[in-house]
C-alpha cells in the first residue's frame, strides 16, 4: 500500500522456502534415514533426463493441489501457514492483554481486534471514507485536482505517479526523492495493449469492475459507465507513456536528476514546488526522475483532461486502494477482479489471514520483535552467519579463477565482494512505532493512519544520513534481497527454515543447495548481475569494468537471455528473457556457489549414498526443493507480464542445464530432453 517505497529494479528478491524447524549446516547422514524430504517428494515415474523439476518434486505436486484461496502453492506456502499460526497467536494474545498505551502489544492487539470486527465493518460500510469522497466531489479546478493528488500520495496511494525515497544511485550516502511512472491500476502497462485473447478479456473484465465499483458508490448505470470510460481512457494514456518492464532494468536510462527549475520545465502544470509542500516534503530541491517522458505526458493530461474526469479518476484510485478493507460488497468486488480474474483464485482467504497480511505489511517490525523472541535463537543466527561466510569465500575463489575477466576488473570485483554487508536473521535495532496511533475505532482508519505513518517515515529520510543498519524486510518474511546502493544482502530468519522437518533430517547436500545456493549465493550474485554489476563497492552507480570485460559479460548475459526466451510457459507465452535476466543470472550463480561450497564438505567427499541418492544427486534435488511449487494458469500469465522472476519450474530446469555436474549426477546424454551441448551452456561465474 506504500507509494513511497523502493523501486522494483533496485531490490532483487527471491520467493523461497521456510518452516517451523531450525536447520543445521552439519551433515547428519545417519539420522536422515528416519525421514528424507527428498525421498518423499521425488517422482520416480518421471525421468530426470526428461523433466528434472517434475522428477525432483513431482510426488509433492500431485499430492498438494492449489487451495481455492490461493493462486499458487509451494513449500514456501507451507511455511506461511506456520507463520500465520504464530502471528495469529501473537495477535490474539496482544488483543487479550490490552497492553499499555503506545506499546507494540497495544497496537498489534487493537489492529487485530478491529480487523476481526466484521459486524462493525459491515455496519460502517464506507462511512469512514465518506469525508474523503465528499472532498473529491467538491473539486472545481486543476489546483483542486493537484491538491488531491498530493493528499492521496501522503496516504501512500500512488495516484497519477510513483514517488519513493531511496539512496541516490550515484551518491549512496544521500537519500533522495525519486519520481517514477505510475498511476494505473492494472498490474503493468502491457495489460492495456496486448491483443491476445487473455489480455483482451482482462481489459473487458477490468472495465466492468470499475463500472461496478462506481455503482457501489451510488452512481446510476449511465454515470457509472461514463466514469469508467473516462477513467480507463486516462489510465490507458498513462500506460502508453510508461516504459516496458524490460526498459526499467537500465539504471542509467532511469536516472535523471533534476532541480525544481528543470522539473517545472519538464511538467509545468504539476507545479512541483507547491506539490512537494502539499506532499509534506518542502525540503525537496531536487528529484531523480525515472522516466521523464511520462511526466511530459502527465503535463499534457493536466492541461487537456476535464475536471469531471479527474474527479472520477481520483475517486476510483481512493476507493480501489481501500476496497478490500471495506464492507463485503466492496471487498468481494475487489477480490473478484484482482484475485479471480487476474490470478485465478477461487475464494477469499479466511478473514484472519487477510488481517494478518495487512498487519504484517503495516506493523511487521512490531510483530517481528515478538516473533524472534518466541521462535528464534541467537545460536541459530550464528549458524547461518557461518554459512554466509562459506559462500562468500567460495565466490572469492571463483572470481580469482575466472578465465574471461582481466586482473584489473577482478581486483575491483573482489573489493566489492569483500565489502558486501550480510544481514542475517533479524536486525540489531527495530523500527520505533511509538508515534503511530492505532485505536479501537475503525479498521480502515487504522490502515490509513499506519499508511500515513509509513509515508512520513520515508520522506523524513530526505536529506538525512543513510541508516545502513535498517532492514527492508521483517524476520518472519520468507524472502531475501540484495540492495546495490548499500551493497548488502538481507536474509530474514524465515528464509532458512524448512517446513515440517527437524534439523536432524536435513543433510548438508540439502542445506548447501536450499539455503546456501538459492538464497545466500543467489543474493550475493545479484551484486554482479546485469544491474548490480553497475554499482561499485560503495553502492554508487559507476562503470568500474574495463570495456573488454564489460563486453564479455554482456555477451554471456545475452546467452542466458536467449536461453530463457526459448522457454514456453503457457500456450504462446514465453519467459521474457530480457526482463528476467537478473534473477536468472543470480539463480545460475547461486547454484554454482552452493555446489562449489558443498564440494568442501565431508558428505560430498565421502560419496556415500542416502536413500539411494549420491551426494551430488541430493544437492540438485535440494535445489529443486527450494523452488517446489505450482501456480494457476492465470497467475503464471500474470507473472510473465509483471515479474522479473521466471516461474518456479524454470528456476530449477533453467540453471541446472548449464552445470556440468548435473549431467554427471543424472547421466544426461545427447538426445535427452534436459541435454544442452557444452557450447550452449551459459557460463558467467
Q: What tens digit of pLDDT does each residue of 128-152 get?
A: 999 999 999 999 999 999 999 999 9
> What average pLDDT does the segment 21-37 reach?
49
Task: Please state the φ and ψ torsions of residue 440, each to the nearest 5 degrees.
Answer: -95, 60
Would you place residue 5 in the very low, low, confident or very high pLDDT band (cuts 50, 70, 90)?
very low
| DSSP 3-state of 279 | coil
**C-alpha cell of 69?**
484461496
Euclidean distance between CA atoms 170 and 288, whole angstroms = 10
The pLDDT value given to residue 504: 64
105, part of any domain: no
**C-alpha cell of 255?**
536516472
> What average pLDDT does the segment 149-178 reach?
96
- Between residues 565 and 21, the one the model is more confident about: 565
Q: Which of 289, 308, 325 is the last residue of a domain?
A: 325
The pLDDT value given to residue 15: 31
Q: Does one domain contain both 558 and 675?
A: yes
**C-alpha cell of 591?**
547454484
523, part of any domain: yes
Instruction: Give pTM, 2 decimals.
Output: 0.89
The pLDDT value given to residue 99: 80
431, part of any domain: no
The pLDDT value given to residue 6: 35
467 to each of 219, 367, 463, 670, how far by Cα in Å? 48, 21, 12, 53
Would you place residue 502 in the very low, low, confident or very high pLDDT band (cuts 50, 70, 90)?
low
Would you place residue 497 in the very low, low, confident or very high pLDDT band (cuts 50, 70, 90)?
confident
389, part of any domain: yes
Q: Does one domain contain both 66 and 151?
A: no
Q: What is the pLDDT of residues 512-522, one digit of tens each?
A: 999 999 999 99
**C-alpha cell of 366?**
512490531
Find out whether 499 and 17 touch, Cβ atoms under 8 Å. yes
Would you place residue 31 in the very low, low, confident or very high pLDDT band (cuts 50, 70, 90)?
very low
**C-alpha cell of 441?**
475505532
- Is the pLDDT reported for residue 7 higher than 70? no
Residue range of the domain that includes 653: 12-74+374-424+477-680
Q: Does one domain contain both 262 and 409?
A: no
385, part of any domain: yes
Find out whether 460 and 467 touch, Cβ atoms under 8 Å. no
Local structure of residue 645 (DSSP, 8 states): S
Cα dihedral 316, 322, 327, 329 in deg (nearest 10)? 40
Q: Within 10 A of 241 (CB to CB), how many other CB atoms are there?
A: 18
Would you place residue 291 in the very low, low, confident or very high pLDDT band (cuts 50, 70, 90)?
very high
139, part of any domain: yes
Per the structure, the count of domains in the chain is 2
Name the percent of the chain in helix, strand, coil, to the closest 5: 55, 10, 35
Euclidean distance between CA atoms 554 and 561, whole angstroms = 10
Find out whether 423 and 471 touch, Cβ atoms under 8 Å. yes
> What average pLDDT does the segment 390-398 reach?
97
Q: Does one domain contain both 171 and 57?
A: no
**C-alpha cell of 578?**
530480457
> What average pLDDT does the segment 553-562 reach?
96
> What average pLDDT does the segment 357-383 reach?
91
- Is the pLDDT reported for residue 498 higher than 90? no
The pLDDT value given to residue 628: 97
**C-alpha cell of 659?**
552445470
The pLDDT value given to residue 677: 97
Q: Please choose, from the candidates 323, 179, 151, the residue with its C-alpha nearest in 3D space to the C-alpha of residue 263.
A: 179
Mean pLDDT of the chain: 93
Euclidean distance between CA atoms 576 and 558, whole angstroms = 12
Q: Does one domain contain both 296 and 391?
A: no
439, part of any domain: no
**CATH number of the domain that residue 648 is part of:** 3.40.390.10
CB within 8 Å of 641: residues ≥ 6 apart: 187, 188, 190, 191, 194
Long-range contacts of 267-271 (CB under 8 A, 24+ apart): 267/295, 267/296, 267/298, 267/299, 267/302, 268/299, 269/142, 269/298, 269/299, 269/302, 269/303, 270/146, 270/295, 270/298, 270/299, 270/302, 271/146
Euclidean distance between CA atoms 565 and 575, whole angstroms = 5
Q: Does one domain contain both 393 and 497?
A: yes
Q: Does one domain contain both 313 and 383?
A: no
Task: Please state the φ and ψ torsions of residue 124, each to the nearest 5 degrees.
Answer: -75, -30
Q: Does one domain contain both 235 and 380?
A: no
Q: Does one domain contain both 263 and 390?
A: no
**CATH number of the domain that residue 254 is part of:** 1.10.1380.10
Q: Does one domain contain both 141 and 288?
A: yes
- Is the pLDDT reported for residue 103 higher than 50? yes
The torsion region of residue 671 among left (phi > 0), alpha (psi -120 to 50) and beta comes to left
DSSP track, 73-118: EEHHHHHHHHHHHHHHHHHHHHHHHTPSTTSHHHHHHHHHHHHT-H
Q: Which of 294, 325, 356 is the last residue of a domain?
A: 325
- Is the pLDDT reported for residue 116 higher than 80? yes
For residue 15, what are the β-bridge partners? 479
Q: Does one domain contain both 604 and 508?
A: yes
Euclidean distance between CA atoms 200 and 191, whole angstroms = 8
**C-alpha cell of 653?**
530446469
Task: Please state the φ and ψ torsions of residue 180, each to the nearest 5 degrees.
Answer: -135, 165
Would you place residue 503 in the very low, low, confident or very high pLDDT band (cuts 50, 70, 90)?
low
Q: Which of 295, 325, 355 is the last residue of a domain?
A: 325
Rg of the chain on CA atoms, in Å: 25
Q: Please choose, from the candidates 373, 361, 482, 492, the residue with its C-alpha nearest in 3D space to the C-alpha of residue 427.
A: 492
- Is the pLDDT reported for residue 194 higher than 80? yes
Kind and range of the H or E run holding 167: strand 162-168
**Chain position carrying cell 481489459:** 203
Q: What is the pLDDT of residues 206-263, one digit of tens each?
A: 999 999 999 999 999 999 999 999 999 999 999 999 999 999 999 999 999 999 999 9
**Chain position carrying cell 545456493:** 517
667, part of any domain: yes
> What average pLDDT does the segment 53-82 reach?
96
Q: Does one domain contain both 287 and 379?
A: no
Amino acid at each position: 500500500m506504500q507509494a513511497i517505497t523502493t523501486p522494483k529494479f533496485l531490490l532483487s528478491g527471491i520467493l523461497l522456502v521456510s518452516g517451523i524447524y531450525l536447520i543445521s549446516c552439519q551433515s547428519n547422514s545417519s539420522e536422515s534415514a528416519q525421514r528424507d524430504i527428498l525421498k518423499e517428494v521425488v517422482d520416480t515415474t518421471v525421468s530426470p533426463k526428461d523433466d528434472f523439476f517434475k522428477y525432483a518434486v513431482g510426488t509433492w505436486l500431485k499430492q498438494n493441489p492449489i487451495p481455492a484461496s490461493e493462486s499458487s502453492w509451494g513449500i514456501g506456502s507451507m511455511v506461511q501457514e506456520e507463520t500465520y499460526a504464530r502471528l495469529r497467536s501473537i495477535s490474539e494474545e496482544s488483543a487479550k492483554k490490552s497492553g499499555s498505551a503506545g506499546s507494540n502489544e497495544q497496537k498489534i492487539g487493537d489492529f487485530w481486534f478491529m480487523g476481526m470486527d466484521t459486524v462493525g465493518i459491515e455496519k460502517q460500510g464506507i462511512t469512514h471514507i465518506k469525508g474523503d469522497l465528499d472532498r473529491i466531489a467538491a473539486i472545481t479546478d486543476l489546483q483542486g485536482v493537484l491538491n488531491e493528488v498530493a493528499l492521496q500520495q501522503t496516504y501512500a496511494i500512488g495516484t497519477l505517479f510513483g514517488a519513493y525515497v531511496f539512496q541516490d544511485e550515484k551518491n549512496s550516502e544521500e537519500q533522495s526523492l525519486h519520481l517514477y511512472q505510475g498511476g494505473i491500476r492494472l498490474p503493468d502497462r502491457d495489460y492495456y495493449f496486448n491483443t491476445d485473447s487473455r489480455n483482451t478479456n482482462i481489459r473487458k473484465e477490468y472495465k466492468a469492475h470499475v463500472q461496478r465499483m462506481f455503482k457501489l458508490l451510488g452512481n446510476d448505470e449511465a454515470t457509472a459507465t461514463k466514469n469508467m470510460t473516462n477513467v480507463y481512457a486516462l489510465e490507458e494514456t498513462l500506460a502508453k507513456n510508461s516504459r516496458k518492464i524490460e526498459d526499467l532494468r537500465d539504471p542509467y536510462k532511469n536516472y535523471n536528476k533534476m532541480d525544481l527549475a528543470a522539473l517545472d520545465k519538464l511538467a509545468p502544470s504539476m507545479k512541483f514546488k507547491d506539490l512537494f509542500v502539499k506532499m509534506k516534503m518542502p525540503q525537496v530541491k531536487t528529484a531523480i526522475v525515472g522516466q521523464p517522458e511520462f511526466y511530459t505526458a502527465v503535463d499534457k493530461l493536466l492541461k487537456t483532461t476535464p475536471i469531471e474526469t479527474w474527479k472520477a479518476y481520483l475517486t476510483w484510485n481512493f476507493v480501489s486502494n481501500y476496497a478490500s478493507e471495506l464492507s463485503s460488497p466492496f471487498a468481494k468486488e475487489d477480490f473478484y477482479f484482482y484475485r479471480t480474474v487476474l490470478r485465478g483464485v477461487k475464494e477469499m482467504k479466511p478473514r484472519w489471514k487477510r488481517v494478518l497480511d495487512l498487519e504484517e505489511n503495516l506493523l511487521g517490525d512490531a510483530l517481528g520483535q515478538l516473533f524472534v523472541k518466541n521462535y528464534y535463537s541467537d545460536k541459530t543466527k550464528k549458524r547461518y552467519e557461518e554459512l554466509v561466510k562459506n559462500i562468500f569465500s567460495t565466490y572469492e575463489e571463483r572470481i580469482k579463477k575466472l578465465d574471461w575477466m582481466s586482473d584489473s576488473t577482478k581486483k575491483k570485483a573482489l573489493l566489492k565482494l569483500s565489502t558486501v554487508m550480510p544481514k542475517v536473521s533479524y536486525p540489531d535495532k527495530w523500527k520505533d512505532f511509538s508515534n503511530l496511533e492505532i485505536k479501537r475505532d475503525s479498521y480502515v482508519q487504522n490502515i490509513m493512519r499506519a499508511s500515513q505513518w509509513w509515508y512520513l517515515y520515508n520522506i523524513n529520510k530526505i536529506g538525512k544520513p543513510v541508516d545502513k543498519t535498517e532492514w527492508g524486510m521483517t524476520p518472519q518474511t520468507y524472502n531475501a534481497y540484495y540492495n546495490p546502493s548499500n551493497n548488502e544482502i538481507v536474509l530474514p530468519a524465515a528464509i532458512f527454515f524448512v517446513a515440517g522437518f527437524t534439523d536432524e533430517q536435513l543433510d548438508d547436500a540439502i542445506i548447501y543447495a536450499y539455503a546456501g545456493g538459492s538464497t545466500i549465493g543467489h543474493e550475493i550474485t545479484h551484486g554482479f548481475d546485469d544491474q548490480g554489476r553497475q554499482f561499485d563497492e560503495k553502492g554508487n552507480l559507476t562503470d568500474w569494468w574495463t570495456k573488454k570485460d564489460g563486453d564479455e559479460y554482456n555477451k554471456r548475459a545475452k546467452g542466458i537471455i536467449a536461453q530463457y526466451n526459448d522457454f514456453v510457459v503457457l500456450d504462446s507465452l514465453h519467459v521474457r528473457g530480457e526482463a528476467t535476466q537478473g534473477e536468472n543470472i543470480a539463480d545460475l550463480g547461486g547454484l554454482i556457489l552452493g555446489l562449489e561450497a558443498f564440494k568442501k564438505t565431508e558428505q560430498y567427499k565421502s560419496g556415500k549414498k542416502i536413500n539411494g541418492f549420491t551426494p551430488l544427486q541430493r544437492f540438485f534435488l535440494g535445489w529443486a526443493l527450494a523452488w517446489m511449487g505450482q501456480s494457476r494458469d492465470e497467475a503464471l500469465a500474470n507473472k510473465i507480464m509483471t515479474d522479473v522472476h521466471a516461474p518456479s519450474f524454470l528456476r530449477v530446469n533453467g540453471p541446472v542445464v548449464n552445470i556440468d555436474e548435473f549431467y554427471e549426477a543424472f547421466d544426461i546424454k545427447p538426445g535427452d530432453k534436459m541435454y544442452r551441448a557444452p557450447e550452449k551452456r551459459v557460463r558467467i561465474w
